[in-house]
Structure 1
């Protein structure tokens, strides 16, 4: 008889891939970040990922990334883990960002596969090992080949799992079989990085999720996992399916999740502000549609 997998949760269970609020002039809005982070944690998030894809990391400076960690730590204290996105196409720069995140108070780092140069697997593995050796912070690998152009192959992940500071994976691979293979052969904590996979991945032993949609409905995302933990799989399925229209509108409507999340948060009166170029804001019709999906979900 196979022993059920009991996931470790090094960074919590319900993590939000938090947007980075900006002022209307485009500057970093630290007060808005504090308010948004405090609300997300109060509504059910026990972890926040800062300066990830949704946090517009390509267009924030190194100094802004550090300032954001410090401000959010002030707001949430020890009530939530903070995972800092430090991914970069340059290994040396990524290592520098990792050390700066540690100084600023992060609990861990999210490290994406180097992009554009499309390194082979041997180089991908060497990159992650170098970052894990750059500080004392635990590392969450970020597998999102649709953006980086390079997969972290399951065999590579399995080898990397032997490193004591590589403890987790944010999974946007859309390779459910490959993910299960790693789950079966390692103790890595897997986090669903695609909102449509929150329940499916959790059901086969994931630690939780890193959700973009949680920017708007943190309690609804947490409730899916709460129901599953309580043994009510029917309820968990119902809650996942109820959230699906909003998930689709935010994540599969031809716009980046950053754009849709900020558009919806603005409609809800929460800190958001504009996106930075090259992104463009959502139009009024899109924003109205997002709000309609949101209102239908929260009324259910």
Structure 2
């Protein structure tokens, strides 16, 4: 008998989402062929859907045109049945609306919207920003609560009010506020996705929809297995799998380096589509890459 919680409503974008890197050519141009090959691999190996042009996708350094081209190329590669969520975060509400409209035309199924950065708007302004994007684009909206990058938290009370908007359906959570997340889960029908890989099982166990993962760029099947074990009622196995992935999660996500840097270093080591980073990001050192590869190899050779 399944002992896991019923995860209702049905996740709007699937359960296991990969926060895909954006491959570039050695000259620094957008590598659409590489993006298609990587997207196909991620979907084939365990991702229900993909988030494009998010933090891991180096969205601050890709142009509006490149963002739309990326969505079109990935849509062509994975077909119509795979949910694609396009990041449209900017510091300007009008710009985010324009990106959301463009993403819809390019084939996105939803948009990812974080709080505008730098200006640090108060909660009433945040609420107005998200409502304006949702009203204008007509696509399902996934809010992105990542105060460590934006400088401002989407407060639980604000999230609860925003949940009343019919177009705001999901949240990618990087708040590190388990109490606040549980309050929102208890009072809304928002589909919550763990945005921090170390919290995949913890949030799923209290009713989250799944995850949006940077580590999924290199280990999509391993992370999906955590959800599958929990769904079949084997919570001990789910915990074993979560803890088994901890060394790789820590190596990729708990250092001073952004996950984009560590993901691209590992993908390059695995001869998978990646390419260079765009400045101001710099590549990982050989020593860091070696440590990342050791953590990856250990996980891949351990029992699943």
TM interval, shorter chain, is over 0.9
Change (3 A) 1:145 1:292: same
The aligned counterpart of 1:241 is: 243
Do the aligned partners of 1:154 and 1:179 also contact (CA within 8 Å) in 2? Answer: yes
Q: Do the aligned residues in 2 keep the contact of 1:22 with 1:273 (CA within 8 Å)? A: yes
Q: How many residues in Structure 1 have an aligned counterpart in Structure 2?
A: 298
The equivalent position to 2:99 in structure 1, one of 97, 100, 104, is: 97
Structure 1 residues 154, 69: closer, same or farther in 2, change over 3 A? same
Offset, 1:78: 2.5
Moved over 4 A (4+): none
Alpha-carbon offset, residue 222 of structure 1:
0.5
Match of 2:298 among 289, 296, 299: 296
Q: Could you tell me how far apart the structure 1 residues matched to 2:80 and 2:206 are?
A: 29
Secondary structure in structure 2 of the residue aligned to 1:129: helix
Q: Secondary structure at the match of 1:133?
A: helix
RMSD, aligned α-carbons: 0.9
Match of 1:49 among 42, 51, 57: 51
What does residue range 56-205 of structure 1 map to in structure 2 within 5 Å? Answer: 56-205=58-207
After TM superposition, list the pairs within 5 Å mapping 1:248-263 onto structure 2.
248-263=250-265
> Partner of 2:232 in structure 1?
230
Which residue matches 1:283? Answer: 285
Checking the alignment, whether the CA contact within 8 Å between 1:243 and 1:297 is kept in structure 2 is: yes
TM-score (norm 2): 0.97
Deviation of 1:80 (Å): 1.6
Residue by residue over 1:122-176, the C-alpha shift from the partner in whole angstroms, topping out at 9 and shown as x without a partner, is 0000000000011110000000001101000000000000000000000000000
Residue of structure 1 equivalent to 2:214: 212
Give how far 1:226 is off: 0.7
Deviation at 1:5, TM superposition (A): 5.6
Q: Distance in 1 between matches of 2:210 and 2:249?
A: 17
Distance in 2, matches of 1:231 and 1:172, equals 26
Task: Report if the CA contact (8 A) 1:15-1:47 is conserved.
Answer: yes
Query: SS of the residue aligned with 1:87?
Result: coil
Do 2:7 and 2:209's aligned partners in 1 also have CA atoms closer than 8 Å?
A: no
Structure 1: 5+ residue stretches without partners:
none
